[in-house]
Structure 1
Amino acid sequence: MQDEVESKTLTLIVSGTKFTGRLFKAAIMKYLAHLKEQKMQKQREKGAEVKPQGRQTVKQLIGQNQGVSNLEITDPSIKAFERVARKYGVDYAVKKDRSCSPPKYLVFFKARDADALTSAFTEYTQKKVRKASRPSVLAKLNQFKELVKNAVVDRTKRKELER
């Protein structure tokens, strides 16, 4: 019983003297990678073929023999698309094309995921349009700074008697 408990526990040791946010993030990422590796190990033991899901390499995507299509994104904020694609469960691969001056991204996906990818792209574009339509916080701050700078403050003292 004790051996079983000990084998299932994972000890995560981090030096507490220089504990920063980056160190905490790195520790969590290593823990998640460990969990993913355990899950894949269990699948291998069962004899089932390990099939990657979500973001993967182009080679892994082509190796699944289900046909591959691609789309081109020129927007550098590809992370927002990755969040939406993960939400819709799309298997995809991102390849950065550096041949042009603003780099463009090629998003490869399975042909059978076309409908899910279409809905993911519509949500992604809606997010981008919403974000572009609202003014930035820095622009608002600069506008208020100008208002304060141009405002004239009346600093004369007035003495009045109240009766």
Structure 2
Amino acid sequence: MQEEVENRTVNLAISTTKLTFRTIVNGYNAWKRHHQAKMAQKTAQLPVGKQSIKELIGQNQGVSSIPIEKTDLKGFEQVARKYGVDYAITKDQNVIPPKYTVFFKARDADALTSAFEEFTNRKLKAKEKPSVLEQLNKLKELVAAILPDKVRHKSQERDL
């Protein structure tokens, strides 16, 4: 009888071990399928907007470039995002002052020209606006001319 109980105990231990191992293997396979699906989804999405040159060239759609000055790269990036242009900006440090180049997809050429036009229009409008500090200084001068001096003179006090 003792031997039969020992055999059943050993069989129970073996079957639970097999069940646990199968569960672990099935869990791993499910994770692996999920991970592969996630990676396939990630590679299917093409990056949009600012990218590295490697990503831009890797899309196999042809690349063009335009040299620009570093006057307002942030302003250009806002306009490029608005027009949905895929671009990459590089800095050539061998030249003094550094030279910046914007690389973009060849199919985005029309959108990029529109973006550059809007960007330059914004820059010109900003130059036409008078400085807020200059306006403030002019107003200060006008107020100073209108208001009398607040300094009391002793001669006025004696007369009273």
Equivalent residues in 2 for 1:18-29, closer than 5 Å: none
Equivalent residues in 2 for 1:73-88, closer than 5 Å: 73-88=68-83
Helix, strand or coil for the counterpart of 2:109? helix
Provide the residue aligned with 1:132 in structure 2: 127
Equivalent residues in 2 for 1:1-163, closer than 5 Å: 44-46=39-41, 49-150=44-145, 153=148
Aligned length in residues:
117
Helix, strand or coil for the counterpart of 1:81? helix
Paired AA for residue 104 in structure 1:
K
Decide whether aligned partners of structure 1 residues 97 and 48 sit closer, same or farther in structure 2, where only a CA change above 3 A counts: closer
Decide whether aligned partners of structure 1 residues 56 and 46 sit closer, same or farther in structure 2, where only a CA change above 3 A counts: closer
Aligned counterparts of 1:47 and 1:107: Cα–Cα separation in 2:
26
Q: Which has the higher helix share?
A: 2
CA RMSD of superposed structures (Å): 2.7
Contact 1:74–1:102 (Cα < 8 Å) also in 2: no
Instruction: Return the TM-score normalized by structure 2.
Output: 0.62
- Mark the structure with the bigger radius of gyration: 2
Helix, strand or coil for the counterpart of 2:44? coil
Aligned counterparts of 2:116 and 2:53: Cα–Cα separation in 1:
19
Aligned counterparts of 2:53 and 2:97: Cα–Cα separation in 1:
22
Helix, strand or coil for the counterpart of 1:131? helix
Aligned counterparts of 1:123 and 1:59: Cα–Cα separation in 2:
28
Instruction: Return the TM-score normalized by structure 1.
Output: 0.61
Contact 1:92–1:107 (Cα < 8 Å) also in 2: yes
- Which structure 2 segments of 5+ residues have no match? 1-35
Bigger shift: 113-122 or 90-99? Answer: 90-99
Paired AA for residue 71 in structure 1:
I
Aligned counterparts of 1:82 and 1:110: Cα–Cα separation in 2:
15
Decide whether aligned partners of structure 1 residues 101 and 135 sit closer, same or farther in structure 2, where only a CA change above 3 A counts: farther
- Per-residue CA deviation, residues 80-119 of structure 1 (Å, 9 max, x unaligned), is 1101101111100011223343433211001111011111
